[in-house]
Amino acid sequence: MNCTETREIIHSYLNDELEEQLLAGVVSHLAGCSGCRRELGNLHTSLDWLRKTYPEQAPPGDLWEKIQGAIETR
Amino acid sequence: MCQPSGTTELAEIGNQAVRGPDFSNVFDEFQRPIYNYLLRLTQNHAQAEDLTQETFIRVHRSLPTFRGDASLTTWIYRIATNVSLDHFRRRATRQAKAALSLEETQSEREWVVDENAPAPEQVASQSEMSDCVQRFIWRLPPSYRTVMVLHDLQGLKNREIADVLDCSLHTVKIRLHRARKKLRAILDAGCDFAHDERNVFVCEPKQTETEEAGG
Ligand SMILES: [Zn+2]
């Protein structure tokens, strides 16, 4: 597998969505290619950034009561 | 809060196979992911709360007809997505803007700053993020935004997203790929993001010329 082919499926690799044969190809390419490893690292960094920027937040505590109220009055 | 007591819980589980999922159980399981999904799409707490309410009202109405053809997860996300689209359409209409849609044609256009993006002060109090950081997700075309939020923040699989959005797996993959590329481009070219001394995300434009002031 070459760099172009690897980068086409690197997202699927990151998503853990590659079939066994392709996965083996990517893994062995990454082992020998610092450029693609860097690309993968960048991808990790930006996803990490995304998750920190939009962290999970607790819903308001009175949601259930409000929904019950709305259902009853409709 | 809405958990039944121990004995009724057993009765609920017993009935579930016959009646389908119980609304209070569905609410307990999905209120958090759905609220966060809608918060990430709207970047506005009040709107996210309203849309979450609307989503669960529709879920309550439609639950008796849920047949299990789709998984409960994709079914509920589809309802939430429709609620959010209705919301954005209403807002776009109100502002006499072209309707936002999930259509491929629109999404393939170059990415532009969404003029409907919420004012930063609407969310700043809670998240304490700079304008630039907050607006990132609004700089993506709506269809990219939805796919990226569903996949990279909500943790859905591509296959599930295709079901939620009623589009092909191929389309989901392409949108996700491009959304991530744009994220990378913004991080590379636009700004340096870092934590300041108060551990708050800040944005430091790399160049002396910042973006043209919008809106
Ligand atoms: Zn390579």
Is residue B3 one of the residues assigned to a domain?
A: no
The whole model's pTM is what?
0.73
CB contact under 8 A, A11 and B180: yes
Bridge-partner residues for B195, per DSSP? B201
Q: Is B127 or B68 the better-scoring residue by pLDDT?
A: B68
Range of the domain at B38: 8-214
pLDDT at position B135, please?
Answer: 65
Is residue B191 one of the residues assigned to a domain?
A: yes
User: CA angle at residue B171 from B170 to B174, to 5 degrees?
Assistant: 85
Q: What is the largest CA-CA distance in chain A?
A: 65
Structure tokens at B166: 């009623």
Is residue B2 one of the residues assigned to a domain?
A: no
Residue A1 in this model has a pLDDT that exceeds 80: yes
Is residue B19 one of the residues assigned to a domain?
A: yes
Considering CB atoms only, which of B2, B36, B153 is closest to A50? B153
Identify residue B110 by its one-letter amino acid code.
Answer: E
| Residue whose pair of structure tokens reads 């170059």 in the numeric block | B110
Kindly report, residue by residue over B80-134, the tens digit of the pLDDT: 999 999 998 888 777 654 444 444 444 444 333 344 454 444 444 334 444 555 5
Q: What is the largest CA-CA distance in chain B?
A: 66
Q: Which burial class, exposed, middle or buried, applies to B57 when counting CB atoms under 10 A from its CB (0-12, 13-18, 19+)?
A: middle
Considering CB atoms only, which of B53, B157, B177 is closest to A11? B177
Kindly report, residue by residue over A9-34, the tens digit of the pLDDT: 888 898 888 899 999 999 999 999 99
Under 8 Å between Cβ of B60 and B47: no
| Residue whose pair of structure tokens reads 């393939």 in the numeric block | B108
Is residue B187 one of the residues assigned to a domain?
A: yes
Which residues of chain B lie closer than 8 angstroms to A73, CB-CB?
A: none
The total number of structural domains in chain B stands at 1
Instruction: Give the ipTM of the model, two decimals please.
Output: 0.86
Residue A41 in this model has a pLDDT that exceeds 70: yes
Is residue B147 one of the residues assigned to a domain?
A: yes
Kindly report, residue by residue over B149-202, the tens digit of the pLDDT: 999 999 999 999 999 999 999 999 999 988 888 888 777 765 555 545 555 555
Under 8 Å between Cβ of B72 and B59: no
Is residue B39 one of the residues assigned to a domain?
A: yes
Is residue B177 one of the residues assigned to a domain?
A: yes
pLDDT at position B214, please?
Answer: 39
User: Smallest CA–CA separation between A32 and chain B, in Å?
Assistant: 24
Helix (H, G, I), strand (E, B) or coil at A74: coil
For strands B201-205 and B191-195, give the pairing: antiparallel
For residue B89, what is the domain's CATH number? 1.20.140.160
Q: At what angle do helices B45-62 and B23-42 cross, to 10 degrees?
A: 150
